[in-house]
Amino acid sequence: MVLEEHKSLKAYNTFGIDCNARYFISAKSVTALKEVLSKYANKEIFILGGGSNMLLTKDIDALVVHVDIRGISVVSEDEQHVQVKAMAGENWHDFVLYCIEQGYGGIENLSLIPGNIGTAPIQNIGAYGVELKDVFHSCSALNVQDLTEETFYKSDCEFQYRDSIFKNKAKGKYIITSVTLTLTKKDHTLSTSYGAIQQELKEQQVTEPTIEAISKAVIAIRQSKLPDPAKLGNSGSFFKNPVIDSDAFQEFRSNFPDAPFYEVSPTEFKIPAGWLIEQAGFKGKRFGDAGVHDRQALVLINHGTATGNDIWELALRIQKAVKAQFGIYIEPEVNII
Ligand code: EPU
């Protein structure tokens, strides 16, 4: 393992922000990770996974540990189900494709989500009617204090919309080293209720959808709306969709009867932040190299040389404008560093 100094993190975050790490090291196994943590116990540690859910607004004056542990294995299987374990450094989408190739169903709707396996449970990634929690069995995590490995089962993770225990009370205390999912080998439960998926399957003339067809449809939808981070720096949805209570919703509805919404429960209503941002006039707007995507207003982009602060200033400006126009606070989904 090589300890590098003053290393640019541009290639390690999907926004493509050029900030430096004071120290940087890649850990390629759980043993190596433990070694790093004990050897540099005196240094402040910053854990880096796929870098797909963070906005760097400054250099990181710490030891950045890049979790680069690879490997996929079947833990157990019967006729119907398979438990697949993937190590934290595996790329999420490559893993989805591997599962589809093997005929394992359950995560096809989560195709093309940027990031790595290890970060997927932290924000309970979700798209097109499916969330990670629906297939999650457990994950292994290294306790950074005593370097023991602990298992978190689904019920331990406190999963919610883009949220888990790892964003709350377990924050900073664990490094996820692997994730185990329970997937189906046959009689897959297909989730095609999402309008855009139905439309895409129709266009592709698919009458009896398979996991592969759904994955292809999701890839086509995402590619048509969401920018490829390899070409245009971004971090997916920058904000969460806000959830408001019945009173706030009644008022919102009477002022904006055409606004889209989803009923989360009889007392909670989710409003698409993309719609709010578009209505506030930001869709496709650009301020220097910081911008708002022209096909999905929820995605902020780096047109080239934006700094993290340029993006953050734009985010604050959007937040303020949405609050002024709709009285609704939109909260970032991305971690601001
Ligand atoms: N909308 C607009 N203008 C926009 C964007 C959206 O009016 O610029 C409206 C759409 O017309 C639609 C509604 O907002 O009525 C919802 O839009 P969309 O289906 O694109 O989904 P979203 O709520 O904006 C969420 C996730 C995405 C996920 C999609 C599909 C969050 C924060 N985002 O977006 O996740 O891919 O649903 O399930 O929940 C991510 O987390 O990085 C991400 C991309």
Domain boundaries along the sequence of the chain: 4-67, 72-184, 233-336
Q: Would you say the CB of residue 124 lies under 6 angstroms from ligand 1? A: no
Which tokens sit at 222?
């995402």
162 secondary structure, DSSP code: T
Across the range 296-318, mean pLDDT stands at 97
Strands (E) located in 203-321: 233-237, 243-245, 262-265, 268-270, 286-287, 290-292, 299-302
52 is catalytic: no
**pLDDT > 90? residue 13:** yes
**pLDDT > 90? residue 1:** no
Of ligand 1's atoms, which has the minimum distance to the CA of residue 239?
32
**pLDDT > 90? residue 172:** no
User: By C-alpha distance, which of 182, 170, 63 is closest to 122?
Assistant: 170
- Percent of the chain with pLDDT strictly greater than 90: 93
Kindly list the strands in the beta sheet with 233-237, ordered across the sheet, starting from the edge strand earlier in the chain. 233-237, 299-302, 290-292, 286-287
User: How far is 35 from 41, CA to CA, in rounded Å?
Assistant: 10
User: How far is 333 from 236, CA to CA, in rounded Å?
Assistant: 9
Per-residue pLDDT, 295 = 95
Across the range 118-140, mean pLDDT stands at 96
Q: Is 162 left (phi over 0), alpha (psi -120 to 50) or beta?
A: left
Task: Say how many Å lie between the CA of residue 298 and the centre of ligand 1.
Answer: 7
Confidence of residue 95 (pLDDT cuts 50, 70, 90): very high
Per-residue pLDDT, 39 = 93
**pLDDT > 90? residue 50:** no
**pLDDT > 90? residue 210:** yes
- Return the CATH class of domain 72-184: alpha beta
Across the range 174-190, mean pLDDT stands at 96
Across the range 111-137, mean pLDDT stands at 95
Q: Would you say the CB of residue 275 lies under 6 angstroms from ligand 1? A: yes
- What is the architecture of the domain spanning 233-336? Alpha-Beta Complex (3.90)
The alpha carbon of 170 is separated from its chain's Cα centroid by a whole number of angstroms, namely 18
Across the range 279-290, mean pLDDT stands at 97
Q: Which pTM does this prediction carry?
A: 0.91
Which residues are 55's β-sheet partners? 336
Which tokens sit at 87?
């190590």
User: How far is 250 from 267, CA to CA, in rounded Å?
Assistant: 11
Ligand 1 pocket test, candidate residues 298, 299, 331, 333, most atoms within 8 A of CB = 298
Task: Say how many Å lie between the CA of residue 3 and the centre of ligand 1.
Answer: 40
User: How far is 66 from 240, CA to CA, in rounded Å?
Assistant: 26
pLDDT digits (tens, 9 = 90+) for 213-264: 999 999 999 999 999 998 999 999 999 999 999 999 999 999 999 999 999 8
Angle formed at CA 121 by CA 120 and CA 126, multiple of 5 degrees: 65
333 is catalytic: yes
Task: Say how many Å lie between the CA of residue 235 and the centre of ligand 1.
Answer: 13
Task: State the amino acid at position 141 in one-letter form.
Answer: A
Q: H or E element: which one contains 231?
A: none
Q: H or E element: which one contains 213?
A: helix 211-225
237 is catalytic: yes
Catalytic residue among 26, 90, 162, 235: 162
Number of alpha carbons in the 13 Å side-chain half-sphere of residue 328: 30
User: How far is 96 from 107, CA to CA, in rounded Å?
Assistant: 6
Q: If 0-12 CB within 10 Å is exposed, 13-18 middle and 19+ buried, where does residue 303 land? A: middle
Task: State the amino acid at position 37 in one-letter form.
Answer: L
Which residues are 262's β-sheet partners? 270
Confidence of residue 175 (pLDDT cuts 50, 70, 90): very high
278 secondary structure, DSSP code: H
**pLDDT > 90? residue 193:** no
Which residues are 163's β-sheet partners? 160
Q: Would you say the CB of residue 137 lies under 6 angstroms from ligand 1? A: no
N-term to C-term CA, the chain: 26
pLDDT digits (tens, 9 = 90+) for 132-161: 999 999 999 999 989 999 999 999 999 999
Same CATH fold, 233-336 and 4-67?
Answer: no
Per-residue pLDDT, 277 = 98
Q: Would you say the CB of residue 298 lies under 6 angstroms from ligand 1? A: yes
Q: Would you say the CB of residue 141 lies under 6 angstroms from ligand 1? A: no
**pLDDT > 90? residue 76:** yes
The CATH number assigned to the domain with range 4-67 reads 3.30.43.10
User: How far is 123 from 164, CA to CA, in rounded Å?
Assistant: 6
Task: Say how many Å lie between the CA of residue 284 and the centre of ligand 1.
Answer: 15
pLDDT digits (tens, 9 = 90+) for 308-320: 999 999 999 999 9
